[in-house]
Amino acid sequence: MSSARCKIGVVAPASRMSADVATRVPALAQRLYPDRTPEIVFHPQCFASHGHFAGDDEKRARAFLDITNDESYDAVWFARGGYGTCRVVESIMCRLAETSKRKAYLGYSDAGMLLAALYRAGFEGVAHGPVAQDILRDAGDAAVTRALAWMIDRAPEALEPTVVNAEKTVAFNITVLSHLLGTPLEPDLEGHVLMLEEVGEALYRIDRSLFHITSNANVRRVSGIMLGRCSDVTPNEPNFGMKEEEIAQYWCQRAGIPWLGRADIGHDTNNKIVPFGAWL
């Protein structure tokens, strides 16, 4: 546990962050760490708007680079998910400075596009976990408290509980992983426990995405799959006939991938931290 102040930069490579977040998160951080309050800098780009996105592609890429290529930052924190990270990954990856490798990167959902590319490039501080905007959820302080505990102290209690027993781990939103397989963003998954979660999709779509994921040769080299929470599942017409856990087990069995049960991740305040790679 360091006594130095941690400097965290918040950027939004996908959708725009709500303004409230920039007041509520620092206030919570001050209450949690009165003697060594982290410096949390919200890049102005977080509040930009360009159609669906928090600024156009170049603005979002440039903002990410402003933080990650600045030696003074210890952590790069995703403001939120939404959609749009895949558009900026290529232009970010080709402009990263050496100092970017030292930092922690924390996010989930759409951020998985960049987490994947950074991990593939050999970055060791990549993790799947809460974003700044999670503070707006009911009891969202718990999610942000966990994110800060990870970024500031790498606190083991912030981890998804099975991480400590796994050789290597990764975690993704199901739809996001499906859409990065076969692209230059796809990391080598061999020997990893792969944790998956989903939000706002019908069961037939979860089934189709898990067909896609478990049919992939790279994914078939994982040491096993765990299913996080699938929340806000949209109606299936007609009734799908299987629950999400049965669906995951079905595709694991067909693919010869060990089914390792449920993971404590999801689009909610209990979303635990999953580092990419070996924890220690």
Distance CA 246, CA 102 (A): 40
Number of residues that bind a second copy (CB under 8 A): 35
Residue 211 sits in the site that holds a second copy (CB under 8 A): yes
DSSP notation for 181-246: TTSTTPPP-TT-EEEEEEES--HHHHHHHHHHHHTSTTGGGSSEEEEEEEESPPP-SS--SS-HHH
CB 214, min distance to a second copy, A: 9
What's the CA angle centered on 46, arms 131 and 182, to 5 degrees?
65
CB 213, min distance to a second copy, A: 9
Q: Which of 93, 24, 96 is nearest to 67 (CA)?
A: 96
Residue 47 sits in the site that holds a second copy (CB under 8 A): no
**3-state class (DSSP) for residue 30:** helix
Among 76, 111, 180, 273, binds a second copy (CB under 8 A): 180
Other CB atoms within 10 A of residue 85 CB: 30
Ramachandran category for residue 241: left, alpha or beta (phi over 0 → left; psi -120 to 50 → alpha): left
The values of phi and psi at residue 126, to 5°, are -85, 135
Nearer to a second copy, 193 or 247 (CB): 247
Nearer to a second copy, 30 or 215 (CB): 215
66-125 binders of a second copy (CB under 8 A): 83-84, 86-87, 90
Q: Are 198 and 173 in contact (CB under 8 A)?
A: yes
Residue 240 sits in the site that holds a second copy (CB under 8 A): yes
Among 19, 30, 36, 52, binds a second copy (CB under 8 A): 52
Residue 182 sits in the site that holds a second copy (CB under 8 A): yes
Q: Could you tell me which residues are beta bridge partners of residue 275? A: 127
Among 2, 72, 183, 253, binds a second copy (CB under 8 A): 183
CB 204, min distance to a second copy, A: 4
Residue 209 sits in the site that holds a second copy (CB under 8 A): yes
Single out the segment in contact with a second copy by CB under 8 A; choices: 136-144, 202-210, 259-267, 271-279.
202-210
Per-residue mark of binding to a second copy, 133-172 (x: CB under 8 A)? ----------------------------------------
**3-state class (DSSP) for residue 134:** helix
In this structure, what token pair is assigned to residue 54? 């928090």
Question: Which residues in this chain contact a second copy in the complex, by CB under 8 A?
Answer: 49-53, 83-84, 86-87, 90, 178-185, 203-204, 207-209, 211-212, 215-217, 236, 238-242, 254
